[in-house]
Structure 1
Amino acid sequence: MAPMKLSSEMARAFPSLTLVQPTSHLLPKKFTLSNVLFVPSMHKNIISASKFCRHNKAKLEFSHFSFCVKDLHTGAPLLTGPTKDGVYYWPASITSPQANVLTKKDVDLHHRFGHPSFNVLKQLVPFLNISTIKDFPVKLPFGTSSLTTSAPLEVIFSDVWSSPIYSLDGYKYYVIFVDHFTKYIWLYPIKCKSDTTNTFIYFKALVEKKFGRSILTLYSDNGGEFQALASFLATHGVSHLTSPPHAPEHNGYAERRHLHIVETSLALLSHASMPLIYWPHAFQTAVYLINRMPTPTLNNTSPYYKLFGSTPKYTHLHNFGCLCYPWLRPYASHKLAPCSIACAFLGYSPTQHAYLCLDPTTNRLYSSRHVRFVEMVYPFSQLTPTPSSENQSPDSWCALSLPLTTLNPSSIESSNPSPSTSPPAVASTSNNPPTPSAPVDIPNRHLSTCPHLSASNNIYKPIHKLNLLAQRSTPEPTSLKQALADPKWRETMSIQHQALITNHTWDLVPISPSQNIIGSKWVFLTKYNSDGSFQKHKARLVALGFHQRPGLDYNETFSPVIKPATVRLLLSLAVTNGWTLRQLDINDAFLQGTLSDDVYMAQPPGFVDPEHPTHVCRLRKAIYGLKQEPRAWYTELRTYLLSISFINSVSDTSLFIQKGTKTLFVLVYVDDIIVTGPCPNEVSDFISSLSVRFSLKDLGHLSYFLEVEVQTCSHGLFLSQRKYIIDLLARAKMLDAKPMPTPMESNTRLTLAMGTPLDHPKDYRALVGSLQYLALTRPDIAFADQYISQFPLKLHAFSDSDWAGDKTDYISTGAYIVYLGRNPISWSSKKQCSVSRSSTEAEYRAIAQAASELAWLGNIMLELGISSTTTPTIYCDNIGAVNLSSNPVFHSRMKHLAIDYYFIWEKVQAGALHVTPVVNDDQLADALTKPLSRPRLHMLLSKIGLTSRPSILRGHDKNP
């Protein structure tokens, strides 16, 4: 076989071969061969006689029984060797192990152990002929430390490492804790540095309870994340030592571990061709292996042995990122589904006796005890290139992790899978949150109170960031032109239009002056499954219902809304009695309702009939966007259900009941229907009869309803709104927020004066409403939700005056602006009735005018049924007037203002009014009292809320 051309890495690993003469009576001599070649299939080293003589200035003499190496100039013998089977054997030893020939088994073990050095691997497998594949850069060592410890946990070194790349789970950092005595490492991925505090508290409680010892000293740098621990450490008697500023060498134990962890992890990722967004899994696997590797600082024992007193096992180790097949039969959708799928091995579960396996095509993570491994096949090498760590945004990292092709079956069949492997009992010092890489033997205890849906194997939901990426990569069209240019959306629109024609939704009729013709538009939506994965594109033709006129083309619009308690009651009955729960989705439900009113609509944009381009659509059936569409559909469905012996519940009109020979319960929410009953066959018969009357999809067992995910477990049903919560966090820009153990702190007291008023209060109200809907499955947030919704729109005013502004009669001008929330609802600019002797007097008169307006508006709100728990506030920029409103000491100065004074003072004392100072720059009523400069006027008008007409409305002007 021809020799292999060495890569740059191999060239560094095999630069030369040094041969050492064995101890003998001959002269000691070292021989060197340069530019040696590496032949993978050869298991012996072959020496070129001519090159040897040329490089070492020697000559060779051969005889029948032996050979001799002599000095070229002196002829002195330097080495002799025997012959065997007609071959001359070199008797010297090879001192450069990197030049040895590697067997497949050697390389495989090298990969499994995380690419350690030859000397480390030599300690694990004595006399093993193996070398390193990569040479890691090595920094110069720091000075030796005089610190000594006699037991575990006496001194813990800690440091935070920052990744240049966000992981797929959103992790940016990790924090490590290194025990000085055992050199054992615990690693926790974290999303922000402030998580270090909670992580250390968790780590401290975990290891101290496990080992029965207390942490005596924590050594770290001076980072703010560790300074936040000062009070906690002092309270618990832990000494906190820190390194001097800009001297990381003093925290050398942690710094060296960073170097070791990063190098090992990059080797694992590089060898598996995996994207860098999986760095937390690689780092945790690296720490798992490092803790089990012998180290010279522990007399060639491992940190695991030093900590636990037992030798770690290595039989369960496998190549990181290699192809594996977890056993998934218990989770198959049906009996003919495959019992396993091709996955990539992502390491060892820290809390279970299981392996972590990632499906590259769906990004779903499996935790399974029974896994078959194909050690030398790496799925990511066939799916995506490994991204570099530079010039990449988080979105691009997510994109690189998306597989582009499927595995090549031939490559899998050509490899011999290893037999099914069961991992050993992995003892872990970790419960569930956060996920460390430190194994210690304690039972797995879940802190969550949610029911467990699996026993020995866990299947985790796919990570949603890829699904968010998919949504961004295929955005909905923003215009009809854009949609028609896209073949996918054009096909979706054509299908919807054809469905309307088939359903005989309208008749084309000539246009008439007496008709009220409403418009229509296309609305585009990308639908996703409950787990966030892509489902389908959807296009709807929507009527512009705001063009309708009451009494002309619509009358009644009421449609019942389902009550959450009814849903929970029905589910509880089904679970208690063991009834089947089926879910139906009516296709184009609103299009199946029959209209009783004459409604005329323009032809759909993009689908005008070429034979009748001037005709309009006389609607025969309801269509999306009409004011009466929900009621039309509900009436159509109700009429049918009543005709087949159902009774409409009086307590909740969304519930239909059939009793007698059959017992069925039907719960309706627009086009989503739940059917349950004691007999599965009767449920199936009802669904069959309903499908004859309406076009529907049988979605099988109930799984997703009203934004609620329904999962069946051994204890009944597990209800959650996980996807809804993730969407809510995304809208609130709180995806990276830290989780809290309770919805509210026990001593929380909210007041109207707390916090800063929002620029857009409607966003707050929208979030409060969303939280109210979330309480559908979360009673624990019910109190918190009603507590934060106790602060309605606030009635307040700004009052101001221009003292003696009119130089003709020196009468002041008073003004006010009254707001309900952020909206100005009343304002006035008026000269006062008499001359004021001071600016305080003029401002006080303006306050009286504003107070009168607030009292009148408050009475109107009471008549409208709008009660407010907040006290109206008047903002004034004159301190004297503010103090006068509540301080009777000034009464003697204002005898001539007795009526105004007592009017304001009485309301303030009764708690019906607040008068609060405001700085002059924020006095909005200043714009109504006198002429202002252009910059000042424009600034105040912007704060008041006066703007130009939005550009989006200018297109509706008939005469622009």
Structure 2
Amino acid sequence: MIEKQTGKQIKYLRTDNGLEFCSDEFNRLCKSEGIVRHLTVRHTPQQNGVAERMNRTIMEKVRCMLSNANLPKSFWAEAASTACFLINRSPSVAIEKKTPQEVWSGNPANYSDLKIFGCPAYAYVNNGKLEPRSIKCVFLGYKAGVKGYKLWCPENRKVVISRDVVFDETAMLPNLSLKDCSNKENQKQVEHQINTESTPQKYAEADLVAYALNVAEDIDANQEPSNYSEVISCEDSEKWMFAIQEEMESLHKNKTWDLVKLPKGKKTVRCKWVFKKKEGTPGVEEPKYKARLVAKGYSQAPGVDFTDVFSPVVKHSSIRALLGIVAMHDLELEQLDVKTAFLHGELEEDIYMQQPEGFTVSEKEDYVCLLKKSLYSLKQSPRQWYKRFDSFMTSHDFKRSSFDSCVYFKKNNDGSFVYLLLYVDDMLIATKDKGEIRKVKAQLSEEFDMKDLGPVKKILGMEILRDRKTSKLYLSQKGYIEKLLCRFNMRSAKPVSTPLAAHFRLSSALSLQSDDEIEYMSHVPYSSAVGSLMYAMVCSRPDLSYAVSAVSRYMANPGKEHWKAVQWILRYSRGTTDVCLQFGRTEDGVIGYVDADFAGDLDRRRSLTGYVFTIGGCAISWKATLQTTVTLSTTEAEYMAITEACKEAIWLKGLFSELNEDLQISTVFCDSQSAIFLTKDQMFHERTKHIDVWYHFVRDIIARGDIVVSKISTHENPADMMTKSLPITKFEHCLDLPNSADNLEEVPLQQVMSTPPQSTIDKPMIAAVLLRLKGVAAGNQ
């Protein structure tokens, strides 16, 4: 560029000894062009003083500009670019008080377009007759090669280039936070890169990478129009318009609204077009262009435009229970999807919406849409859709489960069942006869616009694989975990053998201490990583339960050690991407295992409850959570854990009694003899009277014979991995335990009741009693 723009050739190039300037490829280029290299001695930047002094000048201006404009550090690159733009147009003593721009091009600098960096700017837009004619932005500088201004629009979080701009240089905007404005997905990879650096000096380099990734994302995002005006002028205008026409046809077919005059005293809800381009398989499937008309539901007033908004979805335990039944009885399992599901909901309130942009009816420009059906982004849309679907199912002889509102079943004359599970607009249908599935599909298609996805392959990010010859069904999240590892830059991490090593002693004392650590952790995507791992744990990975439970307690204020623990879990996931749940044929019913870790929480000394329920050796329900109160002994902790497990057992028993009478749950195994004794006898009332009454309901359950709590050896209890960090041999043993029915040990009730176990009064309880006695004695004295 220098040679073409100035007609002069480069003779010398002076740099430091950094590897970015000393690659073999670059050295060969300089040698072939006859450019002589000047390299500084290491740790002597003064030898390249001209460049170093200019860096300082630029950064001093950047700090001042950001501070004056109340902008966060995330805009440092824009400020640096503007600083260079101004320096090139400022007189310099080194070139006889001329400007670099003039010396470079031979033309004097033009100052007529200069504006104050960071000032409010109003860019002209044309979004419709009734829409505002401008959007409020922040001035960020000048776009190279384009005759226009570079602006940041906080509303849609994009950089805008515009020439028709009105500036307000008399004021600055208040502090602009980018916590929600920056592209979180891209920052995750960058932030992990920051976390692995050893010194704060490298933050600036990582910020540069973050800026580059954000800019790259903005470029990609431009492929998807942000509003209707961009659709008209973009390259794929015809394809986007076809998608819009499809959406409008669907809305009219569904009779979503009527055009009416706006009644006095009523307000309208605005709407907007949302566009998404879904990339197809290269060479096989063409990209899909989708358009959705969504209401701006945030402007709805509670009590006026909506009341109740809650809508249930099927529980993951119910999904796994159905998969267990499918594998056991070799049922057909297929999947359906409802097109534009939310448009089927009947509205109970009068909601008025402006006419869609680009589709204003001629001679009725002042009319508004009185919504008859729900629309995407309305507060009540999910609830109204569920109510409509529930009404349809119950009117077609399906019964709704009293244990899960999104599980429907119907018993045929031959004794077989038809099952249907609903998660918003995704459905699973299972039955013995394919003809029954076709019948249900036909009924649904008459009422709703359905998409038949055939035999189930994937739902909610979970892959379902079947081997009908061996009657095996596999539930895997391999694809999700691989994306998760890629997102947090852990694809090449070294795998480890356990979810959380024993050397991690996590507590709030390890939270942020020094300023350096606060700065370090501000770039760490801790909450996002834990949340992503939590979804894997909830869906198909009970082996992650204890580890995710441990790190999730410090979401509000994590420290470096907590982040290392999260990275450890990701490394474990890296080596176990192929781990999945395996369902098969079995004569065993549902079996439960429960365990507790006494005072495992180092902060509040609360105990941890862990349980897992299996069907044919495959886990269908699990939990690892802190208990609500502090217990005084191991016995109490185990007793409370049994209570939690029995509550889940009752729910599962009720669910299976509806779905399949042959599958019942009757036994929960626990490794604490003393806790089992307390569940069956109230002899030691003095030792348990401080325990909340609601925990004692387990005694009634056991007395009625609904659930039997039986003894199992600690070494044979798979729930042990739900409550503590285990060595690799014990951890792998726990993973394999549910597959063997030989490990179960029933203790006769007579034996338990005749001689109380010695461990009923354990050391922590004795210590508590001694402390009380000591206090009483001191008071009497």
- TM class by shorter chain equals 0.3 to 0.5
More helix by share: 2
Q: Which one has the largest radius of gyration? A: 1
State the TM-score, normalizing by the size of structure 1: 0.33
State the TM-score, normalizing by the size of structure 2: 0.40
